[in-house]
Chain A
Amino acid sequence: MIDNRPSRRIIAHATLLVGVFIVAFPIYYTFVASTHSLQTILRPPLPLIPGDRFLENYATALFGGIGQIGGVSVGRLLWNSTVVAVLIAVGKILISIISAYAVVFFRFPLRMTFFWLIFITLMLPVEVRILPTYKVMVDFGLIDTYAGLTLPLMASATATLLFRQFFMTIPGELLEAARVDGAGPWRFFWDILLPLSKTNIAALFVIQFIYGWTQYLWPLLVTNRNDMGTIVIALRKMISFADADTQWHLVMVTCILAILPPILVVVFMQRWFVRGLVETEK
């Protein structure tokens, strides 16, 4: 070990604390704002400690209904975001795991062509094809539907690549043994491959849940009705700095409610998430 003098460690701790402060402060301050009255917020600077309106503000936001976002309740928006994030995560994992399975464990004409067709989609993010994709959504009648919000985001080259890489590390003997024992492709998939992929699936789930929850451009385009919006989009609609009527204390509550679920997912599933993140992106 080198340089284990206490002074060095104190410097390291101090730096990290400054880092944590910078990272956490905007979030903490928003929380503080969400516990104060509108009048306090409108007279900056805001106190650094939470106020006494916690219960009142959160109850109003959750059960009082907020007029600014077209009369849609925060509960409905949180539900929409959850549905979208879960559908994207589960859908992505499902379709990529079976396509990776096909590419690795079968031999068939055009196999590599298909693989490359999937692979190249890495280079076509939504931003480079927004107008025509929007037109497809209109033609299929998918505007303002959960299918429209999630389907186009489900095809994922990264998830397919990850599963493919992982499947290729599975020894061929395992498959041969399974076949000798009379297992067909489905049996092998369910009883051997899926249990082995558990960690990868958990990691991908966290990453894709966050991805789905934080989408912006796509939900902005494919939703017109307020009751189909995600909470991120609704929040954007609530905020108007020019408008004196903005209910800032309720905006802050909504902000906290919008960032809480993904933060909880990341913090509590940290172990899988960190491993998965570093591995997926390699």
Chain B
Amino acid sequence: MTPRAIFPNKFLPYLLLAPQLAITAIFFYWPASQALYQSMLREDPFGLSTQFVGLANFRHVLNDPNYLHSFQVTIVFSVATALLAMVPALFLAVMADKVVRGRGIYRTLLIWPYAIAPAIAGMLWLFLFNPSIGSIAVMLRSLGVYWDPLLNGPQAVILVVAAAAWKQISYNFLFFVAGLQAIPKSLVEAAAIDGAGETKRFWTIIFPLLAPTTFFLLVINTVYAFFDTFGIIHAVTGGGPGKATETLVYKVYNDGFVNLLLGESAAQSVILMVIVVALTAVQFRYVERRVHYG
């Protein structure tokens, strides 16, 4: 970058940065360092004595079958949510790209769920599917399906995934539409002249050219499924039935605030931090690539 014109003030920039740095230090760095520190302590439930235990908390957490179980739940949950949120969104975006008239109206009608809190999305779905007053649940039962997401683990997972994906479809739709608009029409037309049918054009031209958008959304949706779905799970299943929907984030919350296992909760926080760093690194590698080729 060429050296750009600047103001000569020496003191003012610090003043301008102060509010953000203060908030960052107090609410981000200090707590994060405390989490690191606490993850190496063992505290009795009354907070009377603490003991430095090194990596024992991590060993304990990583050998805990419950933790490994919630790891599994999180992975199944993230993959399912990302797929279910992205495939229909891509399909709808491709269709919207074909429509000439009314595209704006469809967009307006499809972006609503973006504005809905995950927890409320969960409640809307639970209202339709809960065994006692849910209209769809009643219909399912009259069709002979035994349906009770509040008692049946896999069904609870299905319900939570459906609500999480439903909320995320609008977001993905907007990005796929933007991605599709960036594909040069001449390429698609050239392929059509050469005799490539619609399906062939999609898989050989449109889909590969959308890859950056798809990959970006994959990362975003995974992060969403990891973190933002806490509200859905807390509001709909409370991690249950059993531990069927206890994701990593839900477990951090539950162990820390409900079970008061401070050291273990902190160790779980640190593991989550490592996961976020990895996901962010992946995302930035991709951003860099896009700058090169885009």
**Quick one: closest B residue to A107, CB to CB?**
B6
B116 and A262 contacting across the interface, CB-CB below 8 Å: yes
Task: Jot down 17 A-B pairs with beta carbons below 8 A, ordered by A.
Answer: A26-B125, A27-B112, A29-B124, A30-B124, A44-B137, A106-B7, A111-B13, A124-B32, A127-B227, A127-B253, A128-B272, A129-B28, A129-B34, A132-B30, A135-B31, A172-B2, A255-B124
Most chain B beta-carbon contacts within 10 A, residue among A46, A127, A168 = A127
| Cα A258 to Cα B124 with chains together (Å) | 12
Binding site for A on B (CB under 8 A): 1-2, 4-7, 9-10, 12-14, 16-17, 19-21, 23-24, 26-32, 34-35, 38, 88, 91-92, 95-96, 98-100, 102, 106-121, 123-128, 130, 132-139, 150, 166, 169-171, 174-175, 178, 188-189, 192, 198, 216, 220, 227, 230-231, 234-235, 249, 252-253, 256-257, 262, 265-266, 269-270, 272-273, 276-277, 280, 287
Is A63 an interface residue when CB atoms closer than 8 A count as contact? no
Give a binary string over A95-106; 1 marks a CB under 8 Å from any B CB, 0 the rest.
110110111111
User: What is the chain B residue whose CB lies nearest that of A239?
Assistant: B123
Q: Given the complex, which residues of A lie within 8 Å of B88, measured CB to CB?
A: 19, 22
CA distance A134 to B26 in the complex (A): 11
Binds B, one of A51-59, A71-79, A195-203, A216-224: A216-224
A residues in contact with B227, CB < 8 Å: 125, 127
Asked whether B92 lies within 8 Å of A19 as measured between CB atoms, the reply is yes
Q: Give Cα A19–Cα B94 distance, bound, in whole angstroms.
A: 12
Known contacts A41-B133, A151-B27, A262-B117; 14 further A-B pairs (Cβ under 8 A): A3-B198, A19-B106, A26-B166, A44-B138, A45-B139, A46-B135, A95-B23, A96-B20, A106-B7, A107-B6, A134-B257, A232-B117, A270-B107, A270-B111
- Is there contact, CB below 8 Å, between B20 and A9? no
If over half of B's interface residues share one DSSP class (helix, strand or loop), that class is named, otherwise mixed; here it is helix
Expressed in whole angstroms, the Cα–Cα distance for A83 and B35 within the complex equals 30
**Is A45 a contact partner of B5 (Cβ separation < 8 A)?**
no
Chain A residues near B256 (CB, 8 Å)?
130-131
A185: nearest residue on chain B (CB-CB)?
B7
A130, B106: Cα distance in complex, Å: 39
The reply to whether B115 and A185 contact each other, CB–CB distance below 8 Å, is no
Is the CB–CB distance between A99 and B115 below 8 Å?
no
Chain B residue, CB-CB nearest to A275: B178
- Nearest B residue to A106 via CB reads B13
Q: How far does the Cβ of A36 sit from chain B's closest Cβ, in whole Å?
A: 11
> For residue B4, which residues in chain A have a CB less than 8 angstroms away from its CB?
104, 168, 172, 175
Contact present for A114 and B21 (CB under 8 Å): yes
Given A12-B99, A176-B5, also A27-B124 (CB < 8 A): yes
Query: How far apart are the CA atoms of A188 and B115 in the complex, in Å?
Result: 35
Asked if B17 and A102 make an inter-chain contact with CB atoms under 8 angstroms apart, the answer reads: yes
Known contacts A101-B16, A217-B253; is-contact A20 B110 (Cβ 8 Å): yes
Distance in Å: Cβ of B115 to nearest Cβ of chain A:
4
Name the residue among A3, A12, A136, A262 with the largest chain B CB count within 10 angstroms. Answer: A12
Contact between A216 and B220 (Cβ–Cβ < 8 Å)?
A: no
Query: Which residues in A have their C-beta under 8 angstroms from that of B265?
Result: 131
Q: Contact: A278 with B175, CB < 8 Å?
A: yes
A266 touches B28 (CB 8 A): no
**Chain A residue with Cβ nearest B31:** A132
Q: Which of B9, B112, B123, B128 contacts A23 (CB 8 A)?
A: B112
| B contact residues around A90 at 8 Å (CB) | none
Q: Which residues of A contact B287 (CB under 8 A)?
A: 282
The answer to whether B27 and A155 have CB atoms under 8 Å apart is yes
Give chain A nearest CB distance to B169 CB in angstroms: 7
Q: List chain B residues, Cβ under 8 A from A27.
A: 112-113, 116, 124
Beta-carbon contact of A270 and B108 below 8 Å? yes
Tell me whether A250 is interfacial, beta carbon within 8 Å. Answer: no
| Closest Cβ–Cβ distance, residue A234 to chain B (whole Å) | 11
Interface check A62, CB cutoff 8 A: no
Most chain A beta carbons < 10 A, residue from B23, B34, B198: B23
Residues of A within 8 Å of B9, CB to CB, are 106, 185
In the complex, which residues of chain B have a beta carbon less than 8 angstroms from the beta carbon of A33? 127
What separation, in Å, do the CA atoms of A72 and B88 have in the docked complex?
40
**A238, closest chain B residue (CB):** B123
Q: Which residue of B lies closest to A29 (CB)?
A: B128
Contact A131 B269 (CB under 8 A): yes
Question: How far is A210 from B127 in the complex, measured between Cα atoms in Å?
Answer: 23
> Chain A residues with Cβ under 8 A from B109's Cβ?
20, 23-24
Give A44 to B133 CA distance when docked, in angstroms: 6
Q: Would A127 and B230 count as touching, CB distance under 8 A?
A: yes
By beta carbon, the residue of chain A nearest B27 is A152
Q: Is the CB–CB distance between B280 and A19 below 8 Å?
A: no
| Residues on the B chain within 8 Å of A124, using CB | 28, 32, 273, 276
B31 lies within 8 A of A133 (CB): yes
Give A11 Cβ to nearest chain B Cβ, in Å.
8
- A15 CB-CB contact with B under 8 Å: yes
CB distance from A88 to the nearest CB of B (A): 12
Q: Is A235 an interface residue (CB 8 A)?
A: yes
